[in-house]
Structure 1
């Protein structure tokens, strides 16, 4: 019996240690699996970047999805947008921290804005226009189209007030303006004379070397100078 008592005491002493070791082993295994699952999820996310629109054409969820899925011309525009957006995402992933997340959020806002076309007289024309505008905006913003040599506009009143303009051969033509630490994309529109580019709150009107610029309410009279 003394031997049995000694074995019992030994088990009582050893069991907590074994339980603790088992707990550590199980915990490490769980964390290992969680970490591995996390890596797999990250790899999957990288391999499958978010789609530009992600419409379900088998079960359209709203009139916009139905029209884009059923109309050949809009379907082609949607496919083209997917390709351009994928290229923009690649550029964003290689850019500054947060650029990719910002682009994804921007694209989601754009998709939500498509519902505004339902309220227009011609939803088909509206959707076609906004698709073209978005495609060319992405091309200009991420340098995905051929561009001309940038022009530097020096504005009157202060030589440090300069606007850098990069013109892109998109359809329709676009220009990327950089001013005071901000960037904006404008599309070419109709004008009686000269070349006019516009976006909400922004305008660039070029006549020869002179340019009249409106930057979010701030009027600027500028002249083009050779880029540094």
Structure 2
């Protein structure tokens, strides 16, 4: 596989251009309770003005955990804006995988909001945003890809097609049994394991193990 699969750590911590945060407006008495309710306008009200990139913003006085996360990790604003921009640009476009963009967005928001219960809110939010952005990039083929690669799985040799994408979090889209699912390379996967709430793919040379629902499929790549 290509070298981009082995660059996750650099992407995760420095691959996205961030914006600066300067002043915080504490006048809002009822701040948004969930990540999905934070709009660019709301974040502008709380956080964003132009400031030197070298100057660290002072977020010590922010007490609302959600707002503190956005204050201390400006990349969340950037990722949120990128997703919202794509949702507008792609609203009338057809995905090669025939996905329902709005339905997927609502499903993601439900999972994204569970970050409010996570011990590391900021990292949970960042990874959630990166997964959604990667999913959109892959579903609409906005980045370079490798595949589709043909595999046969199980003793009955059912067909599966895997396509790998050079997304912000390297992604794989699997077509199997008339369905399409996606998974993403995790920080500790070392370039061979992709996971999501609906799919796990462990890639090996000319082979892959796919966890699909309650099935574990051992798959062999067919010769091109």
CA distance in 1, matches of 2:87, 2:139: 11
What do residues 57-87 of structure 1 show as CA deviations (whole Å, max 9, x unaligned)? 3379x85467447752211111121233334
Larger proportion of helix: 1
**Aligned residue pairs, count:** 170
Residue 90 of structure 1 and its aligned partner are, at CA, apart by 3.3
CA distance in 2, matches of 1:183, 1:143: 14
What SS does the corresponding residue of 1:90 show, helix, strand or coil? coil
CA RMSD of aligned residues (A): 3.2
User: TM-score under structure 2 normalisation?
Assistant: 0.64
Q: 1:149 to 1:115 in 2, by over 3 A?
A: closer
What SS does the corresponding residue of 1:125 show, helix, strand or coil? helix
Query: Structure 1: any 5+ residue segments left out of the alignment?
Result: 1-50
Q: 2:160 maps to what in 1?
A: 163
What SS does the corresponding residue of 1:158 show, helix, strand or coil? coil
Q: 1:191 to 1:59 in 2, by over 3 A?
A: closer
Q: 1:187 maps to what in 2?
A: 184
Q: Contact (CA 8 Å) 1:69, 1:75: kept in 2 or not?
A: no
Task: Give the number of the structure with larger relative contact order, counting CA–CA contacts within 8 Å between residues 6 or more apart.
Answer: 2
Residue 135 of structure 1 and its aligned partner are, at CA, apart by 0.3
Q: 1:210 maps to what in 2?
A: 207
Q: 1:86 maps to what in 2?
A: 88
Q: Contact (CA 8 Å) 1:201, 1:216: kept in 2 or not?
A: yes
CA distance in 1, matches of 2:97, 2:149: 24
User: TM-score under structure 1 normalisation?
Assistant: 0.63
Q: Contact (CA 8 Å) 1:68, 1:78: kept in 2 or not?
A: no
Larger radius of gyration, structure 1 or 2? 1
